[in-house]
A = this chain, B = another copy of it.
Amino acid sequence: MPELSPNPWEWSEPEWRKIVGRARAGRPLRPASWPGGARCAVTLSFDADHETIPLRDADQSPMRISQGQYGNRQGVPRLRALLARHGVKASFFYPAVSALLHPAEIRGVAEEGHEIGIHSWIHEANTKLPPGVERDLTLRAAETLEKVSGQRPVGMRTASWDFSVDTLAIIREMGLLYDSSLMADDDAYELLDDGKPTGIVELPPEWIRDDAVYFNMVRFSALRPYTPPSAVEEIFRAEFDGAYAEGGIFLLTMHPHIIGHRSRVPLLDRLVDYMKAKPGVWFGTHAEVAQWCKDNAAV
């Protein structure tokens, strides 16, 4: 295919169809029922980015690096305690550099039965890397996580959900069970590669179900934590209520250095209480949910 015009209105139909066709949502993988006959599935994830957010930007500010260390020092301990209290297993996605900076943390998380997932090398943006670099970093990240945590990852979440045009091929080469970066549905689906089924499960995240969207603070942009916890709780509950009504998945993405603050952990605590109070809610890791969907998709 020749080079694309910079003016999208000049693109031919094959051109825009090709762009749209990559990593497309295919067969829905909503199961006929959930484990134990549950009505819906809840799967919580924590992207343990810690110091890699400023590092990724080549930002050496001790202040911004300290914000990352908070995730290790206060965020993760509070969240592990909360999960233990509720008897819930979750998925923790680690950039490799974060795992190397905090090996005791990731090993402890893994030993408590939580899932460890791939989440880039140093939180790099895949769509801005030179050719070939994404594959190299992703493979090294998976090896690093296995070595440090003792657990071989079966799933991946791209950093910033920045799934590139090369990501799907890398996932297939690695033989992963699932990805969790794309948003074409609320429930699991099979990824298509230029129209061909891949067997890869997509577990869709959404910005709506992400703590950073509401709480992030970036000094030199206009991002501010304008939304109080009670309003974020309203949004997360409404997303869960929809999943419960439809018998689908409620997948929530959080960050230890963001949700882990004193004013925010209670919102997660109340949310888990709320969900556990409903009959028929199954809590699983991303890997468990993906495997169940793959094995039990309604035909």
Which residues of A approach B to under 8 Å, CB–CB? 4, 6-9, 11, 13, 16-17, 19-20, 22-25, 51, 55-58, 60-63, 65-67, 69-70, 73-74, 97, 100-101, 121-122, 124, 127, 129, 133, 137, 158, 160-165, 167-168, 181-186, 204, 206-208, 213-214, 217, 219, 221-232, 234-235, 238-239, 241-243, 246, 261-266
- Residue of B16, B158, B183, B239 near A66 (CB, 8 A) is B183
B185 lies within 8 A of A127 (CB): no
Number of copies: 4
**30 sampled A-B residue pairs with Cβ under 8 A:** A7-B58, A8-B56, A8-B57, A9-B121, A9-B122, A20-B55, A23-B66, A61-B162, A62-B163, A63-B161, A63-B163, A63-B182, A66-B182, A66-B204, A67-B184, A69-B184, A70-B184, A207-B217, A208-B217, A208-B261, A208-B263, A214-B225, A224-B226, A228-B232, A229-B235, A230-B231, A231-B231, A239-B262, A242-B266, A243-B262
Contact B213 A225 (CB under 8 A): yes
If A62-B165, A164-B62, A227-B226 touch, whether A262 touches B186 (CB-CB below 8 Å) is: yes
- Nearest first, the 5 A-B pairs at minimum CB distance are A242-B262, A238-B263, A222-B222, A69-B184, A23-B62
Instruction: State whether A206 and B261 are in contact (beta carbons under 8 Å apart), knowing that A24-B69, A242-B266 are contacts in the complex.
Output: yes
Q: How far is the CA of A264 from the CA of B131 in the complex (A)?
A: 39
B208 contacts A55, C-beta separation under 8 Å: no
Q: Which residue of B lies closest to A100 (CB)?
A: B13
List 14 other contacts, CB 8 Å, given A8-B124, A9-B129, A230-B234. Answer: A8-B57, A8-B122, A16-B55, A23-B62, A60-B165, A61-B127, A62-B182, A63-B181, A63-B182, A186-B262, A221-B222, A222-B222, A242-B263, A246-B262
Across-interface contacts of A214 in B (CB, < 8 A): 224-226
A167 to B97, CA, bound (A): 26
- Contact partner of A228 (CB less than 8 A), chosen from B66, B184, B186, B235, is B235
Chain B residues positioned under 8 Å from A181 (CB to CB): 63
A133 to B5, CA, bound (A): 15
Q: Closest B residue to A231 by CB, please name it.
A: B228
Interface centre among A11, A56, A60, A229 (most CB of B within 10 A): A60
A115–B46 CA distance with the chains assembled, in angstroms: 40
Within 8 Å CB of A224, what residues of B?
A: 213-214, 223, 226
Q: Which of A51, A186, A214 has the most CB of B within 10 A?
A: A186
User: Do residues B185 and A73 form an inter-chain contact, with CB atoms below 8 A?
Assistant: yes
Asked if A262 and B241 sit within 8 Å, CB to CB, the answer is yes
**Residue pair B65, A20 in contact (C-beta under 8 Å):** yes
Q: How far is it, in angstroms, between the C-alpha of A54 and the C-alpha of B113 when the chains are bound?
A: 39
Residue of B nearest to A69 (CB): B184
